[in-house]
Structure 1
Amino acid sequence: MSVAILSFSIFAASQVGTPGPANMALLATGARFGFRAALPFVAGVALGKQLIIWPIGFGLMTLAESEPWLFQALKWASVFYICWLAWKVANLRLSPSDGENTQPPGFLAGLWIHPLNPKAWAMIVTGFTSFVSADTPTLQATATIAMCLLATQAIFHPIWAYGGGRIAQLVAGRPAERYLMRTLAALTVASVLVVLF
């Protein structure tokens, strides 16, 4: 009757810290407008994940009691998606933003990044299906997943906004870019191996 907090935190760090739609938006916003101007957007992105954690947690945990086979199917669908995403990350190439917008996106713009982000959905489903014991109370499981992800986002999202633009400027179009993206993809695959074994 528990959540594997340490294992889930490692998984969450590998997912939140690697490229995806949210981190690419944070990178572009930080590069274009600077760290301070990007902070409302960063906060919106971090809190936006809560909009899907709680419904998924309560829906999946209730559904898992009556349909355990669906719980397993969701787990494997999430694992395959994350592997596909890793392949996309390995082939992603960075490019500097054009800076056409004059106003940085705000809190509300950030709030909707994760609800529209399939990586976030897959990450949360994998969290509930792989790191939560079947007999864990729904509120305990959901609150634990929510707190772990928010803490992880509080660390990694500002890093992407602050340093992401600089990293892109340093490696875009250079040989180091390919090695960086392959390393990030390998970390994504490693997170899936943690789920399987």
Structure 2
Amino acid sequence: MSHRTRRSYRTMIALAAAATVVLAAAAACGDEDLDLPPPPASPAPTTDNTPESNLDPADAADAEEILAAFDSYMEGYVELTQEGVLGGTDETMDRLEEIHVAAEAFDELAFEILTPNAQAGHATSGTLGWEAQVREIDWEHSFEYSDDVIPRAIIDACIDETDWTTIEVDSGEVVDGPGSRYTSEIWVTWWEADEYSEQEDRWHVSFRYDDDAPC
């Protein structure tokens, strides 16, 4: 190694040492004088599983009525299942006439949920939550079994059963649940009153298709 090379090498060591001292001093000064907040955390990735709405803006007022019908159905569902009543009694049927439910959804609630639970001595407990939006309204809808035109709306709902259980009425013991948050497709149809019904013309929840997909 030449003298010039050795001198350059010593110079580099000296400069590196000086730089280390300067950096250490700056760090110490920063610790004493600066109180900088930590860098913001990166936001967690989110997944939006909400189906796209095809709703015409002109149907916004009707959509509010449709959502109100769904709320009426869900509130009646909560009330009757918590009471643990039979589905076929006059009192229960009168209450079902008051809420916005008809067709398959009516039979399912009355005879596939209420009656079996009551016969088993079961009821529901807790809080059942839901969120909903109207995906579309088909004013010219016809079902396969009929040529009649019956306006139909489709609701995309998120049902929250995370604080919802089935209990033994006598003991209060939980026999099922709590559940989860899952999606449900709700069909709401326009039903006109007839001579056999005391109901007024209005929207009714007619079909409910629950899914295992989380929401």
TM-score, structure 1 as length reference: 0.29
Q: Which has the larger radius of gyration?
A: 2
Bigger fraction of residues in helix: 1
Q: Tell me: higher relative CO, structure 1 or 2? Use CA pairs within 8 A at least 6 residues apart.
A: 1
Bigger fraction of residues in strand: 2
TM-score, structure 2 as length reference: 0.27
